[in-house]
Each structure stands twice: as structure tokens, then as C-alpha cells.
Structure 1
């Protein structure tokens, strides 16, 4: 893998992190019903992690000689609490898979520091996914 390809992939990851920030912020506002306070708190508590990931990616893109994207990825349209949680779960699983692959690619590029950071991000994203799975476990249809 060359630097330019890595920059392109990291920019895709950055767009996804920017989308996650928008997703969590929007879903916090849209949560309804008796669990609204807990859902709002849950969503907003995720934003700092996603923002930290976005900042790392932007910094790494610049360090590799690239230009960080300012365009967020697509946020899934969701209307009910269940739909929002399912959309978050899908996004977190996608991020986990993406960062797992990116860590391998960073190793191939010879950037062990980036590989380790991406593995840490895998841990964060998989932890988020596990939490959402637990919330959804007994969630009413």
C-alpha cells in the first residue's frame, strides 16, 4: 500500500467519523419516549470518542501529506428509537471492520504507531457496538 492510497482510505474513515458525530448529535435530539433522557445521554457521551477519532485521522492525513476531508459521510435516516439504535449498531460494526483492515494496511505501510492507534480505535468502536447490542437486547419492537 502506498501513502496516497492510505490517505484516501483514511479520508473515507474521517468522513465516517464526521457522520458519526452528526448521527449521535441528531439522534440525541430525536430520541423520544420514557427512555429519552437515557438515550440522549448515551448518544451525547459517544461524541467525544468519535471526535477524538476524527481529530487523529485528520492529523494523520496531514502528516502523510494529504488534505483532510470536510465532507461527512451519509447518516442513516431513522425515525424510531429502535431504528436509531440499529443504525448506530450498523455504523459501529462498519467502523470496527474498517479500522481492523486499516491497522493491517498501516503495518504494511510500515507505520506501527498508526497501526496501534487504529487497533485502539477498533477497541473503542467494538465497545460502542457491544453497548448498543445490550441496549437492543430487550428493547420492545
Structure 2
């Protein structure tokens, strides 16, 4: 078994003083920071598109089963907004700028903004978007691997919520006529 070598205290202190303006990004940051920032901004765009789609569906849901499902759309929208905020915060921690530009939002998002004509369509489109996010986040976790454990932990936490959303939406599809 290979044991990691620990850096002595005086070296850690000296390294911490170098490039102190970089904040949380130290010499030990092993990931390609520019690529991570690009990927995080894509994830941010995905979350923001999901916020907007869920909000629309919350207000547009109609039908006998619509009240409880519309309420759940609003819960999901709020959770997606929380994810967006977490991603924006991490982007700033890494020395980047979160891209909230509405002009390019849908082109940077992995998920699509599909209005949905019926309650079943809305559920299905939200489920598709959650499945896109799930696969996208799994790939991002693999890409980050050990190079950026903090971002990896954040994405894993977001992924768990996206999987919960997908499970709830799949259950809704059973109860709502197409």
C-alpha cells in the first residue's frame, strides 16, 4: 500500500503566502481550473433553465391532479435555484464569474426548455431534464475525480437531489393520463 507523503509545516506556510490573492485555489489544486469553470457555468445554466421550466409548469398545470403536482413543481424549482446558487458560489471560490446571461442561457444548458402542452407533457419534460442532469453530473463527478474533491462533493450532493426529483416525477407519470 502506497502512503501519501505529507508536506512539512514550514513548506505549507510558505506555499500559502504565495499567490494569496487566489483565495481557495492553492498550488495543490490539481484540476484544469478553466475547464472546471466552464463546466460549472454549463451546470449553472442547466439549473437556471430548470428553475424557469418548473416555474412555468407550476403556474400552467391544469387538470384533476394538477394542484399537488404544481406544488411539487414549485418545490423542485426552489431546489434547482438553490443548486444554481451553490454552483455560482463555487465558481466565485475558484476565481471565476458565474454566467447568468439570459442571452446564452439555453445554448449553455444541457437541459432544454420545453413548455409542455398538458400536465403529462410537463411531467415528462421535467423528467427528461432531470435525467439529462443526472448523466451530466455523473460525468462531471468522474471528470473531477480526485483533482477537485470540493467541487466533486458539491456535485454529488446536487446529483442526489436530481435523482430524487426524477423518482418523484416518474411516480407522477403513473398517476396522470397521457
Partner of 1:94: 132
Q: Which structure has the larger Rg over C-alpha atoms?
A: 2
Partner of 2:114: 76
| Aligned equivalents of 1:37, 1:95: Cα separation in 2 | 26
User: Could you list the runs of 5+ residues in structure 1 that have no partner in the other structure?
Assistant: none
What is the aligned-residue RMSD (CA, Å)? 1.4
* TM-score normalised according to structure 1 size: 0.92
1:1-141 alignment, distance < 5 Å:
2-70=32-100, 71=102, 72-73=105-106, 74-108=112-146, 110-141=147-178
| Aligned equivalents of 2:86, 2:155: Cα separation in 1 | 10
* Shift of residue 119, structure 1, vs aligned partner: 0.8
| Aligned equivalents of 1:38, 1:138: Cα separation in 2 | 12
Deviates more, 1:74-83 or 1:85-94: 74-83
User: Could you list the runs of 5+ residues in structure 2 that have no partner in the other structure?
Assistant: 1-30, 107-111
Instruction: Identify which of structures 1 and 2 has the higher relative contact order when contacts are C-alpha pairs closer than 8 Å and 6+ apart.
Output: 1
Residue-pair matches, total: 140
Structure 1's consecutive aligned runs of 4 or more residues displaced over 3 angstroms after TM superposition are: none
| Aligned equivalents of 1:99, 1:115: Cα separation in 2 | 9
* Shift of residue 99, structure 1, vs aligned partner: 1.1
**Contact conserved, 2:145 with 2:152, CA < 8 A, in 1?**
yes
| Aligned equivalents of 2:171, 2:69: Cα separation in 1 | 13
| Greater helix share, structure number | 1
* TM-score normalised according to structure 2 size: 0.74
**Contact conserved, 2:137 with 2:159, CA < 8 A, in 1?**
yes
**Contact conserved, 2:56 with 2:115, CA < 8 A, in 1?**
no
